[in-house]
Structure 1
């Protein structure tokens, strides 16, 4: 089987599908990154989110917030307003959680060394319980404090998106020059040396698990490698 041809066919098939996200389109702040990746023959995106502040009403299982079967009381990809959170909390019947989630990209890569170019992750997030069984557990003053923190993270997230785009663009240009200037064996040898590095020291650059569970429509027959990107140091 010609894996390159199969990857190209699968890429065209996936990119032609309708956007099934809640919004139904790519977020404006991450559009340039998505277009840049999809313009490369070795990558394509399967889903993305530029970052968001959300208020969920559901339940907590231990320390894990369950998104499935939760009611989305509030979601915004921009700065949040305290009064909007207060109004949304009045609709909560379970355990309401205020969350900030940074940029996330799910990217399918043709080969493992292509994934090595991309994979980074971050802890730039926020997750705080506000109510239990419909009863508000914090003060309005504390909610105001949390909203300010979430908005600060959203602003920082936008800066990181811009830095990540610039660094990704530079990395892809450098990779193109390297590929055309050196034999394929040297590229593989370079990757082997990188692979031996201590993963704890490779801060901000880490290959995630293959076949990421969050990537929809991914099975064992699909070509390529899946990575999830959470920009941190860019």
Structure 2
């Protein structure tokens, strides 16, 4: 399944999170990401402050949530949930986290750079066995504090207010980073768009007014094995001597020594006799940067040189 089909099928799946919807603070960011043909989100959380207690001695596995908010916490609401603590309870702040599937590794790199520049320095890229590319946007400014042991409260109300204040400060910084990331990601998308336009323009320019003609050699001397030419010549040919450059002197004899009276090889085209320079590599393939003298016209040339 290609990327766009995968994206289409994934985005129609119902939100399976406990909340059942995208957090309000990151809705604009999620919409921007999913509107791009190169990305789609797989999971997200804008950040949260919570109190939970363990079940079976394992944090978060089957845990009971006593308090949770994706905004700034309230001292009053925190105090109200304390009497409900019956086991090992924890106060926790978790920062923004986002997972995005990317169409290719280059798009993943661009997203990752935007995340790092925005302060999410724990971000990373993972590639699955089947080639699925995921960029995870994360930071490290979390907070977790134990509140009770076997139902016995270990902290005072004053301390609860203090850690709530710390969590609120971290949440405010978290929202600022989300705003920076949204701005940086918009800039990255514009750059991708500009690069695509420039690439199309360059490809179109390269194809404009190009002709293709076949050339037949008029004269030519070469050895049986077609060794590299001596002196300061740049011509190269295949082992079987099937392909040579254009109007260069072919200065080889049986042993590849220089001939006193070099002959010129000229290609005969549909436009008459024309001196054409075609540099080839050792396998007789025309080099991309070979100069071609065609009286100012952009002509693509293919030549086949047989043993003379």
TM-score, length-scaled by structure 1: 0.70
Specify the alignment match of 1:145 in structure 2: 162
Is 1:11 aligned to 2:28, yes or no? Answer: no
Q: Deviations over 1:49-94 (max 9, x none)?
A: 1111111110697xxx721210011111111112211221221222
State how 1:56-205 maps to structure 2 within 5 Å. Answer: 56-58=52-54, 66-119=59-112, 120=123, 121-182=138-199
Tell me, which stretches of 5 or more residues in structure 1 are unaligned? 184-234
Change (3 A) 1:153 1:136: same
Q: Deviations over 1:17-67 (max 9, x none)?
A: 111212221111101110111011111001111111111110697xxx721
Change (3 A) 1:123 1:60: farther
> Contact conserved, 1:60 with 1:95, CA < 8 A, in 2?
no
Specify the alignment match of 2:240 in structure 1: none
- The separation in 2 between residues aligned to 1:39 and 1:99, in whole angstroms, is 33
> Contact conserved, 1:38 with 1:45, CA < 8 A, in 2?
yes
Change (3 A) 1:59 1:69: closer
Is 1:34 aligned to 2:30, yes or no? Answer: yes
Specify the alignment match of 2:39 in structure 1: 43
- The separation in 2 between residues aligned to 1:113 and 1:60, in whole angstroms, is 44
> Contact conserved, 1:58 with 1:70, CA < 8 A, in 2?
yes
- The separation in 1 between residues aligned to 2:106 and 2:85, in whole angstroms, is 46
- The separation in 2 between residues aligned to 1:169 and 1:145, in whole angstroms, is 37
> Contact conserved, 1:89 with 1:96, CA < 8 A, in 2?
no
Change (3 A) 1:60 1:182: farther
Change (3 A) 1:174 1:127: same
TM-score, length-scaled by structure 2: 0.54
- The separation in 2 between residues aligned to 1:182 and 1:67, in whole angstroms, is 49
- The separation in 2 between residues aligned to 1:162 and 1:92, in whole angstroms, is 36
Question: Number of aligned pairs?
Answer: 176
Tell me, which stretches of 5 or more residues in structure 2 are unaligned? 113-122, 124-137, 201-308
Offset at 1:109? 1.0
SS at match of 2:22: coil
- The separation in 2 between residues aligned to 1:115 and 1:67, in whole angstroms, is 30
Change (3 A) 1:20 1:98: same
